[in-house]
Amino acid sequence: MKDMPQLGMGTFRLEGDTALNAVTDALDVGFRHVDTAQIYKNEELVGDAIKTSGIARSDLFITTKVWYESLSEDKFIPSVHESLSKLKVEYVDLLLIHWPYPGDDISLEDYLMRLKQAKELGLTRHIGVSNFTIDQIKRAEEILGKGEIYTNQIELHPFMQNRQVVQACEERGIGVTAYMPFAVGDVMKDDTLTAIADAHDSSPAQVVLAWLDKKGINTIPSSTNKKHLAQNFSYTELSLTDDDITRIDELDNGERIVNPDFAPKWD
Closest CA to 145 of 120, 178, 176: 120
What is the pLDDT at residue 1? 60
Indicate the burial class of 188 (C-beta count within 10 angstroms; 0-12, 13-18, 19 or more). middle
Closest CA to 203 of 216, 179, 187, 214: 187
**Cα–Cα dist 168/161, whole Å:** 13
Give the residue-averaged pLDDT of 143-163.
98
Q: What's the farthest any 2 CA atoms get from each other in the chain? A: 55
What is the pLDDT at residue 200? 97
Torsion of CA 240, 183, 7, 230, to 10 degrees: -80
Find the catalytic residue in 40, 111, 150, 179: 40
**Cα–Cα dist 223/236, whole Å:** 18
What is the pLDDT at residue 57? 96
Residue 2 banded pLDDT, cuts 50, 70, 90: confident
Compute the mean pLDDT over every residue in the chain, rounded to the nearest whole number. Answer: 97
Per residue in 161-209, pLDDT (tens digit) is 999 999 999 999 999 999 999 999 999 999 999 999 999 999 999 999 9
Model pTM? 0.97
The pLDDT > 90 percentage for the chain reads 99
Residue 120 banded pLDDT, cuts 50, 70, 90: very high
Give the residue-averaged pLDDT of 21-43.
98
91 is catalytic: no
Domains and CATH numbers, the chain: 9-184+212-227 (3.20.20.100)
**Cα–Cα dist 77/75, whole Å:** 6
